[in-house]
Structures are given as C-alpha cells and as structure tokens.
C-alpha cells in the first residue's frame, strides 16, 4: 500500500544517527503541521491500528482529535521507517501507566517512539528500544516564559543570567529539555520537575545548543530554536548523536 503524504510544507522527515561504542543506529524524526489535519483525517484508517481508530472516532474535542491523530501519524511514519516493511495500521501505540507511548509491533528489532505536539505542530522520534530517548516541542509564547522561569532552580537562574544575549528563549530551552528527559525515563512530569534540573549548557554560540542534567548524568540533550518553536531531544550521554547540518527541522510556522 502506498500512503499519500501531504506537501513538503506540512510534512517533514529527518533521519539521524546515534552512535554507541559498538555500532550506529538510525533514528527517524517526523513532523506534521497542524494545518494538514483534514488531509490526514481523510485517510486515518490507513494509519491507525483498529484499537486506535475506535478510540480516535470516539473523541469529541476537536483539539484532542487533532493532537491524537497527528501525533499518531507522525509516530507511525517514523516507526515504519525505523522498523522497515511494517504497515502503519499493524502497529499499535498504547499508553503506559504514566501515559508514555508504548509501541506494540511484531518486529525483529524493537523500537520505541517519543511524541510531542503543540497547537501548531505534531512530531515524533522513533529510536531503538535499547536506547531510551525523548523529545519535547514548544511554541515560543512570551506569556509562558515567566511560568517556565518560576520552575527553575537558583543555579539555573544564575546559568541563564550568564548566557550571552545571542542565546534566545532560554526558558523554553530549559523547559523542553526537562520534559524531553521526563519522557526518556518514562515518567513524564509525574516526577517533580526539580529532579530534571539542567546543570550545564554548552555550545551557546552554535546550533544545536547542548546540555547536561544535574541528577541524570546518564543523559544529555540538544536543543534547536526553529522559527517560532523550540525542540529538545534527550538521549544517552554515552552515545554520539549525529545531526550534521540536518537538525530535526519542523516546517516553519
């Protein structure tokens, strides 16, 4: 079955490489603009597992319908590339106890997925189940900056004050990096946010910006400011995430 995809302005696919001590692993990042909802709704049965389709058709909130469908299609598109020949409707993505997505698929090389969405975009990262990762995406909304700042520790406040003025949207970077880590470990923000404190920001004169966590030394993160959005990706620090010039770039707002 050949699945139609919308125009490049609303659908983006970026392959990445994660290298550990033994081998390289392909990752796949997919993003979908929310304006493409009707396009994907018309073919949702080609993408959703029957259980997912039944749930989707029961949702009454337009906002929830859009975020669920676009998140699942971004995830299925990333996973079919990650897993090879599987059809998207054969893959079921369940919600775990803490609402983390759990991939159920008969694949030789198990994969997992991290999903993020805002009012304007849905995106997903498919990765080997052996290498826990997480992503978060936030629209840049000035009225949210103060709320994000209030969640920061004293050391984080001092770190931001020491940043050069060229680093834009530091509160969104810290917030998304913390939520990305919370997804990588599978708890989400059911764990107190202070445990996800950022210890260090590096490469502040380049993109992506990189960072490390105070209490989770096993993980690092990369953050991109792309148009009116900030994207962060948490990954095992012992690995090298190879992006080159191809950052996971969602379509512009």
The structure's pTM equals: 0.91
Q: What is the CA radius of gyration of the chain?
A: 18
* Contact (CB, 8 A) for 178 and 169: no
Reported as a single tens digit per residue, the pLDDT across 218-246 is: 999 999 988 889 999 999 999 999 875 55
User: What is the SS3 assignment for 185-198?
Assistant: CCCHHHCCHHHHCE
Average pLDDT over residues 39-50: 95
Among 79-93, 95-109, 139-153, 234-248, name the one with the lowest average pLDDT. 234-248
Reported as a single tens digit per residue, the pLDDT across 155-209 is: 999 999 999 988 889 999 999 999 999 999 999 999 999 999 999 999 877 778 9
Torsion-angle region of 169 (φ positive above 0: left; ψ -120 to 50: alpha; else: beta): left
Same fold for the pair 11-18+25-131 and 136-242: yes
Q: What is the CATH number of domain 136-242?
A: 3.90.470.20
The CATH architecture annotation of domain 11-18+25-131 reads: Alpha-Beta Complex (3.90)
């Amino acid at each position: 079955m050949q699945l139609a995809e919308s125009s490049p302005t609303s659908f983006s696919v970026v392959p990445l490489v994660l290298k550990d001590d033994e081998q390289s692993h392909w990752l796949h990042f997919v993003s979908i603009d929310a304006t493409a909802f009707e396009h994907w709704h018309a073919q949702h049965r080609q993408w959703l597992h029957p259980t997912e389709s039944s749930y989707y058709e029961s949702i009454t909130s337009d906002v929830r319908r859009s975020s669920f469908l676009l998140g699942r299609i971004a995830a299925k598109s990333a996973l079919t590339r990650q897993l090879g020949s599987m059809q998207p409707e054969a893959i079921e993505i369940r919600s775990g106890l803490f609402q983390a997505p759990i991939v159920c698929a008969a694949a030789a090389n198990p994969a997992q997925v991290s999903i993020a969405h805002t009012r304007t975009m849905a995106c997903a990262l498919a990765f080997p189940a052996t290498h826990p990762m997480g992503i978060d995406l936030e629209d840049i909304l000035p009225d949210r900056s103060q709320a994000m700042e209030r969640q920061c520790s004293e050391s984080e406040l001092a770190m931001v004050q020491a940043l050069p003025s060229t680093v834009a949207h530091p509160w969104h970077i810290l917030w998304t990096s913390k939520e990305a880590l919370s997804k990588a470990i599978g708890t989400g923000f059911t764990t107190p946010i202070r445990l996800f404190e950022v210890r260090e920001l590096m490469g502040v004169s380049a993109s992506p910006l990189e960072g490390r966590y105070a209490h989770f030394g096993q993980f690092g993160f990369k953050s991109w400011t792309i148009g009116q959005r900030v994207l962060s990706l948490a990954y095992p620090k012992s690995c090298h995430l190879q992006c080159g010039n191809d950052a996971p770039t969602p379509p512009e707002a």
